[in-house]
Structures are given as C-alpha cells and as structure tokens.
Amino acid sequence: MRTKKNKFILFSIICIILLISCTGLYIYLKPQKTVSILENDSWETFNLLEHWSSGNIVAIIRHAERCDQSKNKCLEEDGKGITVQGRDVC
C-alpha cells in the first residue's frame, strides 16, 4: 500500500514540474505582439527608432497591389512588379 502512495506522490510531483516547465517555456517562446506602425497613437510605436537601432524589430513590408493581380497602370513597362496605385498607397 505504501509503495502505491509513494508512486502517486512521485507522479504528482513530476506532473507539477512538467506543468510549471511547459508554462515557463510557453511564456519564454511566445512571440511578441505584432504592432502596425500605421497606428500613430499606439504607445507600442513610441520607441520605434530606438528599438530599430538596437535590432529588436522585424519589419515586414508588402506592397499594396501587384501588376499581375490588377488592371491598374504598372510602374514598369514590362507589366511586372507593382502598380502606381500600389506604390502610392505604400
């Protein structure tokens, strides 16, 4: 009887340790919140240049409109790349 109780206690301790470890790992590896720099009022963008110069920012830039997906005028004569409207929006 005593060994069953010891095994249960050991199992419980291992489960608690795993739960705490997984929670800590999730918090550590969780990606940071994505912030749009278009939100001028956002306090997250307040130190944008400071974080940029420190290398703490990943910027993903995408044009608004591709020539092969639109009938609007393209920047390049060959019809590749982005449209004039896509450039102006971005």
pLDDT digits (tens, 9 = 90+) for 21-64: 888 888 777 766 666 666 655 555 566 777 778 887 777 776 67
CB 33 within 8 A of CB 42: no
Mean pLDDT score across all residues of the chain:
79
pLDDT of residue 12: 92
Q: What is the pTM of this model?
A: 0.34
| Residues 1 and 8: beta-carbon distance below 8 Å | no
Please, which residues bridge with residue 83 across strands? 74
